Structure 1
Amino acid sequence: MFTTVKSARTAALAALTALSVAAVPAAPALAMGDKEKGFVAGALTAVIVDELLKQGRQAREHRREPVYGAPPVYAPAPVYNPAPVYAPAPVATTSIHATPVARAFNTYSLRERQAIQRSLRASGYYSGAIDGSFGPRTYNAVVAYARDAGARNNLQTTGGAFAIYDGLIF
């Protein structure tokens, strides 16, 4: 009995192999020309694009706007009117190092900053050390130079300060 099952199984496997070889014709695949291949490629492209569009529609359908609950309602705060306290208004002080004049000065190289100080000293506006550091003396000298040159408003912007410094260097 075991041999009959084995021989029936072998016969079935042989038949299946013969059918698969016969079912795969090699000749038509080789007979396809450029037009046929182009048609098949176009059909496959259409199928792929259609599938991508379906996935995009499904993704948009799943994205829904969030649903928010009602905003909270707060009870009014109790009215409390203490006596007003008056304090002096704070005085706005700006460091000279935060001005456009300082920002522009510090972008130059050390040699250029020293050249600016030398020009200010030669013009009689600067009396400090030629160290290339921006401090109160350099600031006061630049402001006085710009005022006398009629360019005081240039110091309000970094670009204007660059114009004054470039005039001192070159």
Structure 2
Amino acid sequence: MLPNVRRTTISGIAALSLAMTAAAPAHAWGKKEQDLVKGLAAAAIIGAVILNNRNSQPATTQRYTQPQYQPPAQTYRAPASYQQPTYQPSYQQPSYQSGIYSSPAAQAFNRLSAYERRAVQTRLSNWGYYHGGIDGSFGPQTHRAIMAYAGDTQGTNQLSTTAGAYDFYAQLIG
């Protein structure tokens, strides 16, 4: 800041000295000529001060610059290819939640004829042991009904073998 003040002062003194030397013979001039010389001297001094201030101060105003467009980088992409999905059907034996379907009572029941299977379910339903549909298939309700009837009459030991289950069904159908 101090060098700026020094420059301004020096340029102001130089402008005044020029104006004084030029104005000395101007006493013979009229009032308008003298005012003209004073105005030119003042303009020179103010111009020098403004010029010094502009050159010494850093630019504080920011200017807008348009961003340059940069195209995106080109990357190689292989063309998409479609592959027909392959379907391979497979059958899985259903896994049952308990061993009732592989028990000797179930095996013997499933080997009976459809008429005999419905007859077993009908008899158990008539006696109040079976509450499902008379469809001739061995399921959890049929299993519970057979086990309950066997427990109330002859005991469930007879149903532990396939031969004993056949005898049980033969006596049930009767």
TM-score range, shorter chain: 0.3 to 0.5
Question: TM-score, length-normalised on structure 1?
Answer: 0.44
Question: TM-score, length-normalised on structure 2?
Answer: 0.43
